[in-house]
Amino acid sequence: MQTFSYSVLMSVYAGENAENLMQSLNSMFQQTMPTDDFLLVCDGPLSNELNAVIDIYKKKYSEELHILRIHKNGGLGRALRIGLPRCRHELVARMDSDDISYQDRCERELEAFARNPSLDLLSGTVTEFMDRPEEILGVRRLPLSEKEIRSFSRKRNPMNHPAVMFRKTAVLSAGNYCSRYPLFEDYDLWIRMLKNGSHAANLSEPLVNMRVSPDLYKRRGGWKYAEDMMRFHTDLLRVGWASPADYFTGAIPHGMLCLMPNEIRRTAYRLIHI
């Protein structure tokens, strides 16, 4: 079966933990099919601890690791938008700076692209942990087939961003990452790709062990988050991607959930991926 080379695209900012970054970098450089092109976007000035970790890995992986420093922090969407065109390969694996990829993650994804030459966008199941990677707190599963993904996307995010691998040309053709929907940059991109004719799939196997912070569900609530989320879904309705039924059974209940107490929101998020 044909296999492909791939790039890794990661962004890190000053608020990240140096130990978490080290674990994340280790998980990608120790893949069963490792990359020869790892682009790390430093989104604004970093702490001395983060820079020390980056220096260690740059010395160890001098040929593979490439550092792009942005003078001022502009957020994840902008960092990825700037970084993606600098990735050398057509296939690009996204990685967050505090998550841990399973060792065969990229091998499984590359095999999926080799089996399906028309595939443009791929993610899969992620597990969740808080302090200890071996203590799994939850599992985020998604629909697998393109038909299911398209239907699911009219109400909820159909891809697990930390586990995504995509074709660079398909992302650029759809307009690349952008920052018009804060915290929904990835969901916005997937919709634009699907509208542009991209083909998508999800794998059932766990690909990434995602770190969840104690305040994760708090950050997914409040008036500001609810306003941003409703604006995004209102635009999906306006452009005809979502139907009124999708809006009233998806966006509005989600908006109400954002305004509920944190413990209720935590339980709901763990019962159903939103």
Mean pLDDT by 10 residues, the chain (274 residues): 81 96 97 97 97 98 97 95 98 97 98 97 95 90 96 95 98 94 92 97 97 65 75 91 89 69 54 51
* Type of residue numbered 269: Y
Predicted local confidence at residue 227, as pLDDT: 83
pTM: 0.90
Predicted local confidence at residue 180, as pLDDT: 87
Predicted local confidence at residue 216, as pLDDT: 58
Do 34 and 63 contact (CB within 8 A), yes or no? no
DSSP 251: I
d(CA 211, CA 135): 11
d(CA 38, CA 41): 10
What is the helix (H) or strand (E) element at residue 172, kind and residue range? helix 168-173
What is the helix (H) or strand (E) element at residue 174, kind and residue range? none
Nearest CA-CA partner of 95 in 29, 175, 156, 172: 29
Q: Which residue has the tokens 């999708």?
A: 246
Predicted local confidence at residue 179, as pLDDT: 84
Nearest CA-CA partner of 94 in 129, 55, 64, 123: 123
Q: Which residues contact 47 (CB under 8 A, 6 or more apart)?
A: 14, 18
d(CA 14, CA 26): 19
Predicted local confidence at residue 229, as pLDDT: 85
Predicted local confidence at residue 178, as pLDDT: 92
- Token pair, residue 122, equals 């791929």
Phi and psi at residue 111, in whole multiples of 5°? -65, -40
- If one counts every other C-beta atom within 10 angstroms of the C-beta of residue 120, the result is 22
Largest CA distance in the chain: 54
Predicted local confidence at residue 45, as pLDDT: 97
Cα 125 to the center of its chain, rounded Å = 12
* Type of residue numbered 16: E
Predicted local confidence at residue 1, as pLDDT: 45
